Amino acid sequence: MASHVTDHHHQNTNELTPSVVILPNYTLVNPNLVPVRYVVNPAAIAQLEVNRSINLQQLMKDEGLVPSAEEERKRNDVIRKLKEIVFKWIKSVASLRRLPQNNIRAASATILTYGSYGLGVYNAESDIDALCVGPWFATLTEDFFIGLHNMLANRVEVSDIHCVKDAKVPLMRFKFEGISIDLPYAQLQVTTVPENVDILNPLFLHGIDETSWKSLSGVRANNSILQLVPNAKIFQELLRCVKHWAKRRGVYGNLFGFFGGVHLAVLAAFVCQSNPNVSLAGLVTIFFKTFALWPWPTPIILQQGMMVPPRHHETRSLMPIQLPSSPHEYCHSNVTTSTFMKIIQEFRRGYRLTQDLFKFDWRNLFEPYPYSKNYQQFLKLCLSASNQDDLGDWIGWVKSRFPGLLQKLEEFHAFYDPNPAEYSDTTIQDPNVVFYWGIVPGLSNILFDLNSVQREFKKYLGTGSKGVKGKISLSVIPASQLPKNLQLVDNPHVHSSPTQMIPVYTNPVPYYTVGYLTPEHPGSGHMS
């Protein structure tokens, strides 16, 4: 064993420079746990972590996940122009309302960013989540959705603008110089809204309506997270890695029962807050270990200074994650039994992969999920409409109702893995988008009544649709009928079968034991 690791070291000098002394000890503690004793130079481990962090940072750049200076400048310009537009807009609203001249002069509104852009983890493909914050006299229905909408629609920089009024958080969606913008509105009970208004200050939140409160939640969560993490830069690096992992492994997308951006931001902040002096590579390792072994549904709660809020269990969620800006609010979650199993499976896979200090390649962690290899049958959901504009509205409406479909499938004992990726069926003449959801073998009733599910889901889609029209069809297909770009080939260097052995580590350095739990071991749970 010692010679094997030494040979690996010589082949990968960029991974491990200091010397490592490994003394094997083959004492068998029990039939399922085989410990191996390593005597490791702490300096070697420290240098190894530095090298692993550098390699991970480089991989993120190579994957295009770190914005260029040009991309950063472009987005800053877009936000600056939006602020100028809403400033002119609020002055016109104040004049329209015939406010006193001193109130018109004092009137102001602003733009606050949140989401990936607000947290500093965006890339060239990211949209911008921006919140328009206005004063008491500017209404959502009339002034925002009509007045500001018309001002934006008349700008040459703006295209594809439409209002999404029936969402839980009503917003305008448009492109500004080619960058997609989601713009909700919050109305404060003040006349003057400072440019960088502190919406964590309760003075600004007094008397606001429920819609404004919901619209503010994203900005409040972002600001709270950035205040609570010990090092914003390393938090951003960790979150960038975690989001990349979640997207590659098919566990990103709140409407599909997986994580949204705010969920991952809180999880990453939780790890950073608990480990303030750990390298990026070390934090990634701790991230997977923490949540692979987490006793769900115990909630994830960020510490507020030295005080830990009382542990309030959110019984409606399998994976409750508290919003850091409020001790009584949780991140909205659509996690179901099916998606919970997939998320835990991916946490445990990440845990297995990141434990190997000597034979580790970051690319394995971010390997795309092999749907066609893991599932023999798929639920095919085809959404179509008569033209492209109608299709966009139809897709948005159906996706907003996906959580109801996921629950209905589980009522029929159909367990699934809803791949969030969108495809197109070239055999259909109308514009269309297709989703392929893996049916979990061994757990699902393959003979469930699909026609009944489809009828009930169509009835659900018709409730409150307000003119959004399109077609939807559900069918079960074999893996052989998947699109070619979904028929992935397994990475030969990554073994993710359910019987793979799980590494168990204790006491990091200078002496630590490495063992393996087989699936039959009672302590291994479902670590597969």
- Going by the annotation, the residues of the binding site are 127-129, 182, 243, 252, 261-262
Q: Which of these is catalytic: 122, 185, 252, 375?
A: 252
Is 182 one of the catalytic residues?
yes
- The beta strands (E) that lie in 148-280 are given as 158-164, 171-176, 179-187
Contact 169, 116 (CB under 8 A): no
Is 116 one of the catalytic residues?
yes
CB half-sphere exposure, 25, CA atoms < 13 A: 15
Spatial strand order in the sheet of 377-384: 416-418, 432-439, 377-384, 471-478
Identify the CA nearest to 381 among candidates 359, 405, 397. Answer: 405
Q: Which of these is catalytic: 77, 127, 430, 490?
A: 127
Q: Which of these is catalytic: 116, 325, 372, 444?
A: 116
Output the known binding site for Mg(2+): 127, 129, 182
Is 77 one of the catalytic residues?
no
- Cα–Cα distance between 61 and 55 in angstroms, integer? 10
Is 243 one of the catalytic residues?
yes
Is 430 one of the catalytic residues?
no
Identify the CA nearest to 49 among candidates 205, 320, 304, 234. Answer: 234
- Cα–Cα distance between 370 and 336 in angstroms, integer? 21
The two structure tokens encoding residue 233: 């830069």
Q: Which of these is catalytic: 38, 53, 129, 224?
A: 129
- The three-state secondary structure class of 378 is strand
- Cα–Cα distance between 145 and 168 in angstroms, integer? 15
Is 389 one of the catalytic residues?
no
Q: Which of these is catalytic: 243, 289, 342, 380?
A: 243
Backbone phi, psi, residue 40, to 5°:
-120, 135
Which residues, 6 or more positions from 451, have their beta carbon under 8 angstroms from its beta carbon?
A: none
Residue 270 CB neighbour total at 10 angstroms:
24
Indicate the pairing of strand 511-517 with strand 416-418. unpaired
Output the known binding site for ATP: 127-129, 182, 243, 252, 261-262
Q: Which residue has the tokens 């492109």?
A: 175
Q: Which of these is catalytic: 182, 215, 399, 436?
A: 182
Contact 333, 263 (CB under 8 A): yes
- Cα–Cα distance between 242 and 237 in angstroms, integer? 9
The two structure tokens encoding residue 265: 């931001």
Supply the residues annotated as catalytic: 116, 127, 129, 182, 243, 252
